[in-house]
Amino acid sequence: MKAPELKAVALFIAVLAGFLTPFDLSAVTIALPSIGSEFSMDAVALSWVSTAYLLAAGVFLVPFGRIADIHGRKKVFLAGLSLFIISSFLMVLSRSAPMVIILRVLQGSGAALIFGTSVAILTELTPVTERGRALGIYTTAVYLGLSLGPFIGGFLTTAFGWRSIFLVNVPVGIGAILLILSFLRGEWADAKGERFDLGGAVQYGLALVCVMYGFSLLPDRDGLILIVAGSVMLLVFIARELRIGYPLLSMTLFKKNHVFAFSGLAALINYAATFSIAFFLSLYLQYVRGFSADTAGTILVVQPVFQAVFS
């Protein structure tokens, strides 16, 4: 395949992956009341349907990104897509609240493998002069997935039931896998031969789990203890990464590149605010105001636009 065609295929695959994983996150938000009604889940349990996905993605994103650098990004990308497809299909067959949450963990893990490699593969196959355009298109796909998720998810939930949201992932994911196997050659392992910091990966994962689970237990004392323990583990992880030769996450990115550090902080604040609003607004519109899932999804999409225009 010629370079221009290969670059176009890589961009198309990245756009599919970039749309699919955030779409699944935001679409499920509008389906939470339907899931809760079927499995008799309260608001705390429902929050874990979304949080389990995010937490798993956060725990595995950095370690598997590093594994991809060492052993090959195509392998990890394919593994992530496969895990995402299988867990999405099993979600259609789920029969209990614990099963839903466990499968959301698996989905989040697959999403981490996809996110950790898709941009890197796209960057490798795109010339330097065209990377800005390619990354812009990819970023647009990500935000389209986040923005259209409530609207499409609401329509699917009302018309076909909440399981249809996950069923959509299967053919799209299979199509992406077939494209990868047919057209993409190579593994793109820039850190081949370097050691993987398993200890750092464990510390990083435990720190995130303790902090996230601790916040869900507040204001109980156990929640505060877990948050403190997770924060201490995070500090220990940072100290470890500063002194070892092959760090899981290079701390120099944050020390020397202030634009990167503060843009990451801004993204954290932005997503923390917007995600919590979408979660509670979805429950309010459907439980309190009595709107259907498709109407609530439309409001969730349109409301930020009106707010931006008229504020």
Which whole number is the average pLDDT over 240-261?
Answer: 81
pLDDT at 90: 94
Q: Residue 190: is its pLDDT beyond 80?
A: no
Q: What residue type is 68 in one-letter code?
A: A
pLDDT at 308: 42
pLDDT at 307: 44
Q: Residue 282: is its pLDDT beyond 90?
A: no
Greater model confidence, 144 or 267: 144
Which whole number is the average pLDDT over 134-147?
Answer: 86
Q: Residue 130: is its pLDDT beyond 70?
A: yes
Q: Residue by residue, what is the 3-state secondary structure of the chain?
A: CCHHHHHHHHHHHHHHHHHHHHHHHHHHHHHHHHHHHHHCCCHHHHHHHHHHHHHHHHHHHHHHHHHHHHHCHHHHHHHHHHHHHHHHHHHHCCCCHHHHHHHHHHHHHHHHHHHHHHHHHHHHHCCHHHHHHHHHHHHHHHHHHHHHHHHHHHHHHHHHCCHHHHHCHHHHHHHHHHHHHHHCCCCCCCCCCCCCCHHHHHHHHHHHHHHHHHHHHCCCHHHHHHHHHHHHHHHHHHHHHHHCCCCCCCCHHHHHCHHHHHHHHHHHHHHHHHHHHHHHHHHHHHHHCCCCHHHHHHHHHHHHHHHHHHC
Burial of 102 (0-12, 13-18, 19+ CB in 10 A): middle
pLDDT at 306: 45
Burial of 35 (0-12, 13-18, 19+ CB in 10 A): buried
pLDDT at 226: 92
The pLDDT-based confidence of 311 (bands split at 50, 70, 90) is very low
The HSE-up count of residue 157 (CA atoms within 13 Å, CB side) is 31
Angle between helices 131-160 and 97-125 (to 10 degrees): 160
| Residues 6+ positions from 239 with CB-CB distance below 8 Å | none
On average, the pLDDT of the chain sits at: 84
Q: How far apart are the first and last CA of the chain?
A: 50
- Domains of the chain with CATH codes: 3-196 (1.20.1250.20)
Which whole number is the average pLDDT over 166-192?
Answer: 83
Contact 230/208 with Cβ under 8 angstroms? yes
% residues pLDDT > 70 (the chain)? 95
Angle between helices 43-71 and 258-283 (to 10 degrees): 150
Which whole number is the average pLDDT over 102-109?
Answer: 93
pLDDT at 309: 41
Greater model confidence, 291 or 176: 176
% residues pLDDT > 90 (the chain)? 20
Residue recorded with tokens 């050691």: 195
